[in-house]
Structure 1
Amino acid sequence: MATYTTTDGVDLDYRDTGATGSGRTLVLVHGWSQSRATWDRVVPLLAARHRVVSYDQRGHGLSGKPDHGARVARLAADLREITGHLGLRSFDLVGHSMGASVGWSLVDNFGTGPLDSFTVLDQPSACVVLPWMTPEDGAAAGAILDFPGTEGFVGAVGAPDARDTRHGFLASMLSTDIPADDLAHLFEENLRMPGPWGARLLLDHAMQDWRDVLPRIDVPVLVVGGEVSHVSPDSQRWTAEHVPGAHLKVFTRAEGGSHFPFFEGPETFAACLLQFLDGTPGTRA
């Protein structure tokens, strides 16, 4: 077990493994209510070629559970700190769901200087139809909720009796025929996140509008969607169209194309990601 303590005193659990001969490091950032354990099936496949770093974001997994910092911007600061601690002058960022938002926040605040590439895994550039958007704007970007409905959903997730709500939300992100043991494993990781703190983070995450960040990303980008994800694949196509030169991959159901393609189809996902990386210039460090 390796731990890094952030500047505001939160211990982050991380793993650093894999081949170093390529000179590239993949940094895997998980989504809301999950943990680095969700990457365990794909890490060995990636680590055969490259160095791989995965970590539990604050409030998640085995990392510290503070009362503060329930904001995407703070999670982006954590990413910047831990990569600095590991001496990474540049890295290939893979952000799943909210983890992609963490990457967008990093770019928004600090630019693309640290990034060799950026893989956006099934995350809309806007989760909610915000007051300055038309319904058409929200639908194109992939917004899942309307503005008034967000309050009710976040409240339900953070309620004392939210276990069934959290389980239902998780199940909606996965294939309907996922093995019961796999669903139970992911839900166990989900429950490591304290509900009230997670609700605050979810609200902050949902209220972000990253559309203006997309055209400013000037490194190679892979955008990933899934045919059976709760996130519309059309939203990932929209994202790819608004990032200069971005590549798009939408996994089919047979390929594990849910919200968790790296968990339900790790071999296919790893092959896709490695092929994308092979087609990029490599490390800028």
Structure 2
Amino acid sequence: MKHLLAALLVSLPLATPTLALAEPAVAVIGDYTFPQPIEGMPRKLSDFDGLEINSFTTNDGVRLGYWEAGTGDPIVFVPAWGASGAEMINQLWLLSRTHHVYVLDPRNQGTSERTEKGQRIARQSMDLSEFLDHIGTRKTVLVGWSMGVSVIWGYVDLFGTERISKAVFVDEPVSIYTHADWSEEDRRNAGGMTTSVERMIAAFAGAPTNQQVVDMKVVQRARMLDTPYAQNAMGLAGQIKPDPAHAMLVLFDHAANDWSDVIRTKLDIPVAVFSGEESNNLPSQDWIARTVPDGQLFSYSSADQGDHFLMQKNPIKFAADLRQFLAE
């Protein structure tokens, strides 16, 4: 269970950093031949010239890996729970044609260190702040997917938006946990998907459940690796050794947060929100786009793979829409 998608498939500093030498990605995880040849995309990992996996050390002594490629204005991706730069390989390839693209592997994910320390979104938000210090960017675009969006919301809550030019949120509920005193409209606007965080975590690990306890549509859509882009990304992710025990540690804190106050009061920058017809999160994503002062919703149809995994399944459209948003 090295990332959310695999888990669902199988179970149903401003600190002074210690630098690692920049290394080609193939030197870190080995070369890899993608199972689905796609015109215009690399056939093997070694075909991706300039793709590096580097690292830095946080102020609490944890080594975090990150992927980078390209030159130009920076874009920093924060991936979903369990995911890493491997799942973002299509975005790295496509967007590095015009930008300097980074993907930060969160602690206990991808190429980053396994640790019991800091199993909170707030700590991961601090990691993101230290990472921006490490790469020396003054302004950047931040792109979060799923839990990665929560990390960005936590960053904004702690540090504000001074270093963010624009933000992109891909299909993350405002609050995963549904409060008992909410109306149905409140629940839909928040994207609440469970009445019991413990039951949700158990269900994602394979325990029996039902739709009234946990919204399992994300599990159903995770099984549908029905585009060659997704198959290639997930195949590459399979080259990185999983650690389910450590990856699970942050889930309770992640699911229990309600970010509505940050969205209502602190997002004073242009925001793009991505979701689609095949995601039960869509009403909450629409609420985000309507609530922030300068928000835009990109809602994908079923034909466009509009679910929680839209970036992996339809990276060409996502990259085009992201470039449109950045150009505005």
Q: TM-score, normalised by structure 1?
A: 0.85
* Structure 2: distance between partners of 1:247 and 1:169: 24
Q: Distance in 1 between matches of 2:199 and 2:217?
A: 14
Per the alignment, residue 94 of structure 2 pairs with 45
Distance in 2, Cα, partners of 1:159 & 1:254 = 29
> 201-210 vs 258-267, which deviates more?
258-267
Match of 1:219 in 2: 269
CA distance in structure 1 between the partners assigned to 2:166 and 2:192 by the alignment: 25
SS in 2 for 1:219: coil
- Contact 1:158–1:195 under 8 Å retained in 2: no
**AA partner of residue 233 (structure 1):** L
Is the 2:229–2:313 contact (alpha carbons within 8 Å) kept by the matching residues of 1? no
Q: What CA distance in whole angstroms lies between the structure 2 residues aligned with 1:53 and 1:235?
A: 27
Aligned equivalent of 2:310:
261
The answer to whether 1:186 aligns with 2:234 is: yes
Tell me whether 185-194 or 102-111 shows the greater mean CA deviation. 185-194
Shift of 1:16: 2.1
Matched, 1:97 2:146: yes
Indicate whether 1:118 and 2:167 are aligned: yes
Query: Contact 1:158–1:198 (CA<8 Å) still a contact in 2?
Result: no
SS in structure 2 of the partner of residue 240 of structure 1: helix
Does 1:274 find its partner at 2:323?
Answer: yes
Q: Supply the distance in 2 between the matched residues of 1:257 and 1:106 (Cα, whole angstroms).
A: 27
Deviation at 1:228, TM superposition (A): 1.4
User: SS of the counterpart of 2:252?
Assistant: helix
Residue number in structure 2 paired with 1:163: none
Distance in 1 (alpha carbons) for counterparts of 2:281 and 2:129:
30
CA distance 1:27–1:45, shift in 2 (3 Å):
same
Asked if the contact 1:158/1:197 (under 8 Å) is kept, the reply is no
Partner of 2:220: 172
Q: Deviations over 1:73-104 (max 9, x none)?
A: 11111111011101011110000000000000
Which of 200, 211, 215 in structure 2 is aligned with 1:153? 200
Larger Rg: 2
The 3 A distance-change label for structure 1 pair 184 and 202 is: farther
Specify the SS of the correspondent of 2:116. Answer: coil
Contiguous gaps of at least 5 residues in structure 1: 161-167, 280-285
> Secondary structure, in 3 states, of the residue corresponding to 2:186?
helix
Distance 1:183 1:70, change over 3 A: farther
- 1:29 corresponds to 2:78: yes
Of 238, 241, 246, the residue aligned with 1:197 is 246
Q: Given residue 167 of structure 2, which amino acid in structure 1 is its aligned partner?
A: F
Cα 1:48/1:181, change in 2 over 3 Å:
closer
Structure 2 residue runs of 5 or longer lacking an equivalent are 1-52, 208-215
Asked if the contact 2:87/2:236 (under 8 Å) is kept, the reply is no
Which moved further from structure 2: 89-98 or 199-208? 199-208
Provide, for residues 42-86 of structure 1, a one-character-per-residue CA deviation record: whole Å limited to 9, x for no partner.
212111111111121100011100011111111111111011101
